[in-house]
Structure 1
Amino acid sequence: MIYRFTIVALLVTFLGFSQNYNVAMEVFKSDLELTSYSKDSTANALVIYDYGNSFVDDKTFWLRVQNEQKIKILRTEGIDRGQFEVKLYKGKTSKEKIENIKGTTYNLENGEIRKTHLTKTAIFEEENENYTLVRFVLPNVKVGSVITVSYETQSRFMAKYQPWYFQGEDPVLYSEYNTSIPANYEYHIKRVGAIPFDTHDISLKKQCLVLGNGASADCSISKYIMKNIPAYKPEDYTTTSLNYTSRIEYEMSVIKTFDGRTDKITKTWEDADHELKTDSDFGRQISKKSLVKDILPDSILAISDQLKKAKALYNYVLNNYKWNGKSERYDVSIKTITKDKVGSAFEINLLLENLLSNEGIKVFPILMSTRNNGLATKVYPVLSDFNYVILKTIIDNKSYYLDATDPYLSFGELPFKALNQYGRLIDFEEGSYWEDININNFSGRIHRVELSSFKDDQFQGTIKSIFQGYHSHTPKRQFDENPSDYLEKKINDYTDIIIEDHDVLDTDTSNFNETLNISIQPEFIGNKIYFNPFIIKFFDKNPFQLQERTYPIDFGYKDIYNYSMKISLNEDLKVIELPKPVNYALPNKSGSLLFNIELLNDEIVLYFKVKFNQPIYPPEYYPYLKSFMDKVVELQNNTIIALEKQ
């Protein structure tokens, strides 16, 4: 299908456009005089009007898509919005076309509106085997310009009706999409994004298509309107934008020809299960004793306890087979990986499935779409959505998710890329179903600092650190690959302390434990010491900076950050001032911040804990999380203990 180069985006409710933009294609002086958009001061451009109309021509029976846009250029970075690109698909017997390309740039010069029109010499075409790329560049575009563009695409390829993106990199005042779909074609309509329609009207037009022999078809007419749409701006703690950019997509399910034939295009899950079961790259690689015959050592075969055996099988695969970095579901061969000892994610995890099932352990493959690949479609089966596979094993009525591609994962852990809400559990006996991927365990970072002495104007002490769960994977890998580089990086990161010695205690479990012997040279002003006790910071700055965020905050897993410090004063120091405690919570007990510091028996005892009780927060939590993280960063950066030498 055609991929429109539309610069569209998003904002909130429509209570009237606050800045007097003319929401239509006509350009007025008031459009040119405005220099900013009050609801998004960072916007490089503003889509004032975005209009689409898709219908099947009653003479040619081609799909025609009419596009119109009006865009205001607000900043230098938005000047490239005057460059457009349309991709036209080429099939074996037909190719898509573009007609009636028109474009105009409007500028205000000496109080008068000046128009510069797009010329044919500014329209370029590039050809390759699969498509024609049409580019056109509007003239004289600069900051303050308003540009208008319109064109029509035509296509015989009806398999995917023209999608429509309401949201993009710039805010949009008004976006309207009209569709007319003949009853011959039935589509699954997939809506993505959480922003509601301002208008969604549906009606029926009788005999919109009429053939010469008297046959005809009615059309379903739809109008979708969104107003004041905020821009989609990427930020930390999210998956791919494909999961959340507001749009409508179409997938053909049924074609009804005028001679009475009905062709079913989209499969049911029952159809998909049958296809997977007979697939040489999947179903024929599952639960086959012959594929893994005589490869296990007797020491594993002799284990009677199912959980211990499952862990032994998991470690056997981890220790003897290496992932080649590939995850695609094709050319999968368990025989090949048992011979070569190297294979794809599908081969490694389906090898483990065979080993578990052949030892009588209940196990199911789960087809996944990774975080960067987008959420798999739930409305109808799209097997191409899945680019990964994990396993679910059930032992003593307890479920464990398994992935044997990464030696730094523990039994029951999944790679972070697989934490994408849900997957399709494949059960060829009872039928497949959607499985929510819930990670109930907290991951954590714990730092326990003890400053036991103060001599020669320096603190001496230790830092004991524990990295748990997902926080342990990176330090384990970095330390194992190059211990000296790992220590060098830590020395460079911890600029406020001097590392005297470093000892790693354990890297074999799901934790990574290390101890640092340190010294600190505090800041003196006269005889007084002003000292920030957070010599290790969890967050250098607030990761949440947007004015508004329309998509979830996705950490992937539940999280705890824990920091404590003991400072022995002995007879060397006395306290002048200690900061006040802080206790703060997110709504519905979904997270908490606790900070406390007190003097106990000639020791300053500090405790600091940040806890996120949910792996994913809906977008309405964003202002609360933003304020929450402001407090976290403020405490870490600006907490001061005032001491005095005795």
Structure 2
Amino acid sequence: MKQIVLCYLLLSNLTLFSQSNFHSESYRVTLGDLETNTFEKDSTANALMVYKFGNSFVDKDDYKLRTEIKQKIKILNKEGFNKANISIHLYNKGDSKQKVKKIVATTYNLEDGNVIKTQLLEKDIFREKYDENHTLVKFTLPNIKEGSVITYSYTRISPFMFNYKGWNFQSDIPTLYNEYRTSIPGNWYYNIKLVGGKKLITNTSEIKKNCLENSRGASADCGNSVYAMRDMPAFIEEDYMTSKYNYLARVEYELQTFKGFDGRVNNYTKTWKTVDREFRTDKDIGRQLTKSIDLENLLNLEIINEKDLLKKANTIYRYVQENYTWNGDYKIFEDVSIKNLIKNKSGNVSAINILLHNLLKESGINVKPVLLSTRNNGFATKVYPVISDFNYLIVQANINDKIYYLDATDNYLCFGDIPFRCLNSYGRLMDFKNGSKWVDLKPSKASNVYYNAEVNINEKETISGNIISKRTGYHALNYKKSYYQNSESYVQTLENKFPYLDISDFEVTSNGKTSEDFKESYHIDYNYEDTGDNIYLNPFFVKFFNENPFKLQERTYPIDFGYKDTYHYSFKLSFDDNKYTIIELPEEKNIALPNNSGRVLFSTRALGNTIFIMLKITFNKAIYEPEYYPYLKAFMSEIVNIQTNSLILLKKK
């Protein structure tokens, strides 16, 4: 009888109704949450955020920011078990530390009609030092099974009001309902930014009088807001994208002004005019940019006396590339010293590119620094200055009325190219005379791949011939690095990549590691399968895409290749028409993306004893909007199919 009563009480607590729907607007677990084990809107989901809730407010007693967090997650299969591993990141600086309290976590399972409730124990909560400024509080919910529902809640306490708690409405699993409540005293004024382009189903604000008081009777009103989103798809990262934080649906806060009860006012967010002035006098970057350099201490007289400015700039650029090594550090606002760089021959991004800037400037070339945020770092905010958004510095050179963007951290780059990591749409040109401004950072030319294969079937019925390839732009960059860093390993990798080919007479014909292209040639012997009188031959010894990189049901963020490009493959097969006859050639294709933004052209023809095949793939845009995704997905599928299933059938006479 006691067991029956206990079961009844549990079922009552779970809101007794036997429905097959998730209860998505409550933290309380229901039978619907437990009994529903599929999610029709996304059959690939391993787990489901049924309900997420946050509430941030300033405590009236200690003026610290408190954030209450509650989450309810459905585990759909074993691949979703990792959602039971929870990490809470806490920030600390000096004696000021974030804390977490009131951790409560529970796993619910439905077994033989009974609800089994398993509580997280205090001893199973662990603290781990992540680095000097971060601590992790970690725990794993117990008794996880397929079909489990987990809930956990906690309160995070932060003394850092400059960093008001931002909120993600989207994650790597689908979310049914997500609500965030905030209460912000009038002492703190924030710029509030909604990121990701998703619509709020709730967006309300009201004023609460005298929500915060001090001991002398002064008080402040609070702005209380409620934000909510419903039915958010999972955000799944895929190839050809910049940082997910550019597109993840969330709300962010940037402190603009603090007004104390004593009348003091601190401005944190400034205008670009103010930032330009402060940047110019900054002890690291600003002062380093204005340092003069004695050219004769670093450059030979031939370079110094060169009259052709473009040639001089090229030579100085090459000098910095070859003599100074980037240490991999992105801290562009710290430890910037031209003196130390020259002494140690190694330094961070700012040091190397500021040295380049100063050498060019002393040589009479018009140069300016450009701040940017790399692809992995996310877009820099354009609405107002957020200097912490920037993590990289390059140089703009204006030579003979033509603009060049330069980065000397990579000694394989050509003059006028910047690393792929810098292709993040735009940067901030720091012009100390006329004021800073936004500039577009886009490659001036397309990157291309060319392959030309010419083979023949000889008297011994073996297929052999030559392949010549050429890559330009960003396609050439990685190949140059692979080859010039270890040529033997490069050739070995090439041979392993094509196990059905014997490669010989390999040769690179481009002009060194800073050449604008990478050209190679080699002889091949093709080991095809002997099927009697028939020869089946796939003409694509080299494949541009081995598989379709686009696999999502839906993609809500842009497809960002970084640059426009073209792939071109030509194939020529010669044979003795007295011995062989053509039975079948691959089907020709001509496929275009909408608005002429890309095309696949595949042609085949036979002329006497020679077969000609050509494949050309063109991407006319560097960035495609999300609405292009289904077309690009089908486009790539056709490319893979052409390369994989195009067969030439010859028959012996």
Are 1:618 and 2:594 matched, yes or no?
no
Partner of 1:580: 587
1:37 aligned partner: 39
Shift of 1:64: 2.6
Q: 2:158 aligns with which of 150, 155, 159?
A: 155
Aligned to 2:386: 382
- C-alpha contact 1:472 1:511 (8 A) present in aligned 2: yes
Mapped contact 1:459–1:519 kept (Cα < 8 A)? yes
For 1:337 and 1:130, locate their aligned partners in 2 and report how far apart those are by CA, in whole Å.
28
Matched, 1:222 2:229: no
Change (3 A) 1:95 1:366: closer
Give how far 1:73 is off: 0.9
The answer on whether the counterparts of 1:565 and 1:607 sit within 8 Å (CA) in structure 2 is: yes
Match of 2:282 among 274, 279, 283: 279
The aligned residue for residue 190 of structure 1 is 193
2:7 is aligned to: none
Match of 1:594, SS state, is strand
Between the aligned partners of 1:92 and 1:484, the Cα distance in structure 2 is 51
Q: Is the 8 A contact 2:170 2:233 kept in 1?
A: yes
User: Taking structure 1 as reference, are residues 360 and 645 closer, same or farther at Cα in structure 2, changes over 3 Å only?
Assistant: same
CA contact (8 A) 1:292 1:354 kept: no
In the aligned structure 2, how far is the partner of 1:178 from the partner of 1:240? 27
In the TM superposition, what whole-angstrom CA distance separates every residue of 1:561-586 from its partner, at most 9, and x where no partner exists? 11011112343432111122111112
What displacement does 1:211 show?
A: 5.0
Task: Tell me the SS of whatever aligns to 1:525.
Answer: coil
Question: Cα–Cα, structure 1 residues 402 and 148, in superposed 2: closer, same or farther, change >3 Å?
Answer: same
For the 8 Å contact 1:496–1:535, the answer to whether it is kept is no
Instruction: Output the CA distance in 1 between the equivalents of 2:380 and 2:230.
Output: 28
Q: CA deviation at 1:287?
A: 4.7
- 1:418-446 Cα distance to aligned partner (Å, 9 max, x none): 11222221111111122220113111111
Give the AA of the match of 2:198.
Answer: I
In the other structure, the counterpart of 1:559 is 565
| 1:139-175 deviations in Å (ceiling 9; x for gaps) | 3222111122223333343111111111122211110
Gap change, CA 1:133 and 1:562, over 3 Å in 2: closer
Equivalent residue number for residue 16 of structure 2: none
TM superposition score normalised by structure 2: 0.91
- How do residues 335-484 of structure 1 correspond to structure 2 at under 5 angstroms? 335-484=339-488
The 1:489/1:94 distance shift into structure 2, 3 A limit, reads: closer
Distance 2:323 2:22 in 1: 68
AA paired with 1:143? E
Q: Is the 8 A contact 1:170 1:230 kept in 2?
A: yes
C-alpha distance in structure 2 between counterparts of 1:62 and 1:229, whole Å: 31
Letter in 1 for 2:353: N
Task: Give the Cα separation in 2 of the matches to 1:412 and 1:44.
Answer: 46
Q: Which stretch shows the higher mean deviation, 557-566 or 21-30?
A: 21-30
Q: 1:327 aligns with which of 315, 325, 330?
A: 330
Could you tell me how far 1:303 is from its partner in structure 2?
Answer: 2.3
Aligned residues: 630
Assess, with a 3 A threshold, how the Cα gap between structure 1 residues 337 and 117 changes in structure 2: closer, same or farther. closer
Residue equivalent to 1:10:
none
- Contact residue 440 and residue 558 of structure 1 kept, 8 A: no
- Supply the distance in 2 between the matched residues of 1:488 and 1:121 (Cα, whole angstroms): 53
Tell whether the 8 Å contact from 2:24 to 2:176 is kept in structure 1 after alignment. no
Rate the CA distance shift 1:167–1:458 in 2: closer, same or farther, 3 A. Answer: same
Report what 1:11 is aligned to.
Answer: none
Tell me the CA shift for residue 210 of structure 1.
4.5
Length-normalised TM-score, structure 1 = 0.92
Structure 1 Cα separation of the partners of residues 592 and 362 of structure 2: 49
Q: 2:113 aligns with which of 100, 111, 114?
A: 111
Report what 1:82 is aligned to: 84
Superposed CA offset, 1:373-418 (max 9, x none): 2222333333333222111111222111111122211111111111
Give RMSD over aligned pairs.
2.4
Contact 2:70 2:152 in 1 (8 A): yes
Q: Which residue of 2 aligns with 1:521?
A: 527
Q: What is the Cα deviation at residue 133 of structure 1?
A: 4.4
| Shift of residue 229, structure 1, vs aligned partner | 1.2
CA shift, 1:309, in A, is: 1.9
Separation in 1, partners of 2:565, 2:21: 43
**Which runs of 5 or more structure 2 residues have no equivalent in the other structure?**
1-18
Per-residue CA deviations over 1:78-124 (Å, capped at 9, x if unaligned) read 22433433344456666444444333322112213232334444444
**CA displacement 1:20-39 (0-9 Å, x = unmatched):** 44431222222111112122
- How has the CA–CA distance of structure 1 residues 497 and 431 changed in structure 2, closer, same or farther, with 3 Å as cutoff? same
| Unpaired runs of at least 5, structure 1 | 1-16
Larger deviation, residues 583-592 vs 214-223 = 214-223
Shifted more, 339-348 versus 139-148: the winner is 339-348
Contact 1:287–1:353 under 8 Å retained in 2: no
Answering whether residue 56 of structure 2 is matched by residue 54 of structure 1, we say: yes
Moved more, 408-417 or 59-68: 59-68
Alpha-carbon contact 1:409-1:473 (below 8 Å) kept: yes
- More deviation in 377-386 or 632-641? 377-386
In structure 1, distance between residues paired with 2:141 and 2:509: 64
Counterpart secondary structure, 1:253 = strand
Task: Write out per-residue CA displacement over residues 473-523 of structure 1, whole angstroms, 9 at most, x where no aligned residue.
Answer: 222222222322222211111223222321211133211111112222333
Cα 1:562–1:373, aligned 2, differ >3 Å: closer, same or farther? same
In the TM superposition, residue 267 of structure 1 has moved relative to its aligned partner by 2.9
* Structure 1 letter corresponding to 2:180: Y
Where does 1:103-142 land on structure 2 (aligned, <5 Å)?
A: 103-125=105-127, 133-142=136-145
Matched with 2:248 is 245
Corresponding position of 2:650: 643
Q: In the superposition, relative to structure 1, how do residues 468 and 100 fare at CA in structure 2: closer, same or farther (>3 Å)?
A: same
Structure 2: which amino acid aligns with 1:238?
Answer: M
The separation in 1 between residues aligned to 2:128 and 2:574, in whole angstroms, is: 73
Match of 2:503 in 1: 499
- Alignment of 1:631 onto 2:617: no
Higher relative contact order (CA 8 A, sep 6+): 1
Partners of 1:94 and 1:444 in 2: how far apart? 53
